[in-house]
Amino acid sequence: MAASAVASAMPEDITASSYVGFDSITQQIEHKLLKRGFQFNVMVVGQTGLGKSTLVNTLFASHLIDSKGRTEVDIAPRATTEIHNQAHTIVENGVRLKLNIIDTPGYGDMINNEGCWEPIIKYIKDQHSAYLRKELTAMRDRFIPDTRIHCCVFFINPTGHSLKPIDIVVLKKLAEVVNVVPVIAKADSLTIEERLAFKERIMAELQYQQIRLYPFDAEELDEQEIQLNERIREMLPFAVVGSERTVLIDGKPVRGRKNRWGVINVEDERHCEFVYLRNFLTRTHLQDLIETTAQIHYETFRSKQLLALKESSAKAQAASNA
């Protein structure tokens, strides 16, 4: 049985005596990964009312999270510290994705917004800290559960002007610890000309403030991957529209928003850039987001923590010898 399986895996143009078979390692890796499944943790950050929950549900074509915004006058605003993590498992063509959605309350909603971003930054660092503790355990798990944030989708209010000072502060803090992907929320409220001008002003502001956004270029990238990253950077921030509703266009059901002047088709590239965002997050850079989190953001955190631990141990040793 095993011999026949090996024979069937052998390319037809290679004889049995010359075929080694190590080219099947990719199939072996794929088989193990499919059994284990994949973990992806995405955080949404932005002011209340920008459609964070709706966009996430649109991205994954499922109703995964409910809106946490205020809909009644007698409902008190949520505290900034209320960060909710919702876990889901979605399956597509035999690939199982364990998805963690970290929903943050709208920052900047209070009268006093001093330090309103701190719970968000703390949550991200806490996940790195939890992973490091498990990694340093003597009898650690074979596969450490990964709760590190792989992507932070940052929602920008479609004012058409520029970023608010609080947006700049939050973006600076986030970019130091997580992969940040900015989007202009509810982009259908802007004309095409307003949208282009708004995007140019935002990117000019980010460059001036030296805020480094994802994706990053690395030495191991080939020319095609570098060109893809360059095209994505030219498109940032993505001007998007989210919708879970189905409307009919020429008798065909599509996800969109209907108004007095027609229908905004979420998946029409002429209407918004949702398709580009979805392709970027799920079809071309999903694995890179996971790897970049581990190799850049987590490694930076890990080295700082271990160096601090080493210094404190040295000081304690010196004090004991004194």
At residue 220, the pLDDT reads 82
Residue 254 — φ and ψ, nearest 5°?
A: -135, 160
* 10 has pLDDT over 60: no
At residue 15, the pLDDT reads 60
Any residues with CB less than 8 A from the CB of 93 and at least 6 apart, and which?
Answer: none
3-state DSSP assignment of residue 85: strand
Beta bridge partners of residue 84, listed in sequence order: 103
* 5 has pLDDT over 60: no
pLDDT band at 1 (very low <50, low <70, confident <90, very high): very low
Q: What is the CATH number of domain 31-310?
A: 3.40.50.300
Q: What is the pTM of this model?
A: 0.86
User: 152-187: buried (b, 16+ CB within 10 Å) or exposed (e) per residue?
Assistant: bbbbbbbeeeebeeebbbbbbbbbbbbbbbbbbbbb
At residue 318, the pLDDT reads 78
Tens digit of each residue's pLDDT (9 = 90 or more) over 160-196: 888 999 999 999 999 999 999 999 999 999 999 999 9
At residue 157, the pLDDT reads 93
pLDDT band at 80 (very low <50, low <70, confident <90, very high): low
pLDDT band at 9 (very low <50, low <70, confident <90, very high): low
Instruction: For residues 30 and 27, give the distance between their C-alpha atoms in angstroms, rounded to a whole number.
Output: 5
Tens digit of each residue's pLDDT (9 = 90 or more) over 15-29: 666 788 888 888 888
**Is-contact 168 205, C-beta < 8 A?**
yes
Tens digit of each residue's pLDDT (9 = 90 or more) over 197-226: 999 999 999 999 999 999 998 888 889 999
At residue 16, the pLDDT reads 63
At residue 185, the pLDDT reads 94
Tens digit of each residue's pLDDT (9 = 90 or more) over 286-313: 999 999 999 999 999 999 999 988 888 8
Tens digit of each residue's pLDDT (9 = 90 or more) over 116-155: 788 999 999 999 999 999 998 888 788 889 999 999 999 9
**Is-contact 275 267, C-beta < 8 A?**
yes
The chain-wide mean pLDDT, for the chain, equals 86
